[in-house]
Amino acid sequence: MTKIRKCLMVIAAIFAMVLLGGIGQTVSANEFNFSVTPVRPDNQIGKSSYFNLQMTPGQSQTLTVTVSNTTEKTVVVEAAIASATTNINGVVEYSPNKIKQDKTLTYNLANQAKIPAEITLTPKSTQQVKVDVTMPNVPFSGVIAGGITFKEKDSDADKAKAKGISIQNKYAYVIALLMQQDSTRVAPNLQLTSAAPGQVNYRNVINANLQNPKAGYLNQMYVQATVKGVSNTSLVYTADKEMMQMAPNTNFDYPISIGEGKRIEPGKYQLTMTVYGQKDDNGQYSYQDAQGNTQKFEYKWQFTQDFTISGETARKLNARDVTVLPEPWYHSWMIWAGAVLVLLALFFLFFLLGKRRKDDEEEKDSAKKQAKKADKNSEKVAG
């Protein structure tokens, strides 16, 4: 029985990593004090390890997730449901995060599914946790996508221990939850909504916001992006990336780095993008990859957008970029403006002093002339 539980824990950890798109490090079953296993219902589509449900409009049902405590202590597990989002790496996330929901999202999974916020597990115990889901009453084609997240609640001792630690590893099990009314495939319609300067990890980038406004996944994306300066044609930034994915009704900022230590220059720019989607051996669109192999795709989009970076925006971003050195004092317009003002003030002061000296000399000369004239007049009177 113990071996079976350990196997289930490892499998669940792998599921979590896959569904999250990877979390940057290996997660072993030993990192968890509990395990989760979804119980597939009769209306499950395929044999996937997550919930993929075929439902009718207005249908309600209860799903089951087996949650087990593998330790000799009481474990409290926090559970949450969230709609799927797409992060800046082009990876779909199924757990709660700070990514804003897209305006095209009609049905938020958090409103269509409910689960207890906390599950208390006594030592070596197992619970069948119920998840109540409801399909919207309105017929539609496409997928409502999201996930169920399970993570251990921090105890007071854990919170006290974590104080003063800037980076903490938090592990969670995430089970994707997909709901659809029919198997109709929704064709994607990718949009470029904006291009603007920004930052990723305190480093300057140009963000190209891509939106998937349809209720279907956009898979195996390959993006080629180039930003060129219009005001300064020597400025060229590129960013190519493949094997990305977008969740239904989501958007994300595709970052185009301007390079470590480089300053964003104010001025006019133009962004050009080519995006391929959904690899298909019979696809009508193709490109040569870095290895010289031909890759074929079902979809292709091309975008062009002009944008302007103001001097104030560039200054603020450059000041926050941790790789950009502070601008030399003699490059600051404020220093030069101050120097010009000082020079003007000195010039005006010298001008006033010179004028006053000249006026004083003229007054002295005038006084001397008047004195001489007075002396002559006195001599004439005396004679």
Q: What is the mean pLDDT of residues 365-376?
A: 69
pLDDT-based confidence at residue 162 (cuts at 50, 70, 90): low
CA distance 32 to 121: 13
pLDDT at 66: 98
195-227 pLDDT per residue, tens: 999 999 999 999 999 999 999 999 999 999 999
CA distance 357 to 340: 25
- Is pLDDT above 70 for 111? yes
pLDDT at 376: 65
pLDDT-based confidence at residue 99 (cuts at 50, 70, 90): very high
CB of 130 within 8 A of CB of 102? no
Query: What are the φ and ψ backbone dihedral angles of 234, each rounded to 5 degrees?
Result: -80, -15
pLDDT at 348: 78
pLDDT-based confidence at residue 30 (cuts at 50, 70, 90): low
pLDDT at 374: 65
pLDDT-based confidence at residue 166 (cuts at 50, 70, 90): low
pLDDT at 360: 72
The whole-model pTM stands at 0.78
CB of 244 within 8 A of CB of 205? no
Q: What is the mean pLDDT of residues 323-350?
A: 76
pLDDT-based confidence at residue 7 (cuts at 50, 70, 90): very low
Q: What is the mean pLDDT of residues 338-363?
A: 78
- Is pLDDT above 70 for 158? no
Query: Out of 2.60.40, 2.170.130, 1.10.3430, 3.30.2310, which CATH number does the structure's domain 191-327 have?
Result: 2.60.40
Percent of the chain with pLDDT over 70: 82
pLDDT at 361: 73
pLDDT-based confidence at residue 164 (cuts at 50, 70, 90): low
pLDDT at 6: 42
pLDDT-based confidence at residue 28 (cuts at 50, 70, 90): very low
pLDDT at 15: 41
Percent of the chain with pLDDT over 90: 70
- Is pLDDT above 70 for 1? no
- Is pLDDT above 60 for 318? yes
247-299 pLDDT per residue, tens: 999 999 999 999 999 999 999 999 999 999 999 999 999 998 888 999 999 99
Scored b (16 or more CB within 10 A) or e, 107-118 reads bebeebbebeee
Considering the segment(s) 2-180 as one domain, its CATH architecture is: Sandwich (2.60)
Mean pLDDT (the chain) is 87
- Is pLDDT above 90 for 54? yes
Comparing C-alpha atoms, which of 268, 291, 293, 288 is closest to residue 276? 288
pLDDT-based confidence at residue 63 (cuts at 50, 70, 90): very high
Q: How many CB atoms lie within 10 A of CB 340?
A: 10
CA distances from 278 to 159, 217, 220, 283, 287 (A): 45, 10, 5, 9, 13
Q: Return all residues near 212 (Cβ < 8 A) that are at least 6 apart.
A: 86, 102, 188, 189, 190, 191, 218, 246, 247, 248, 249, 250, 251
Comparing C-alpha atoms, which of 222, 225, 226 is closest to residue 244? 222
Q: Compute CA 193 distance to the chain's CA centroid, rounded to the nearest angstrom.
A: 15
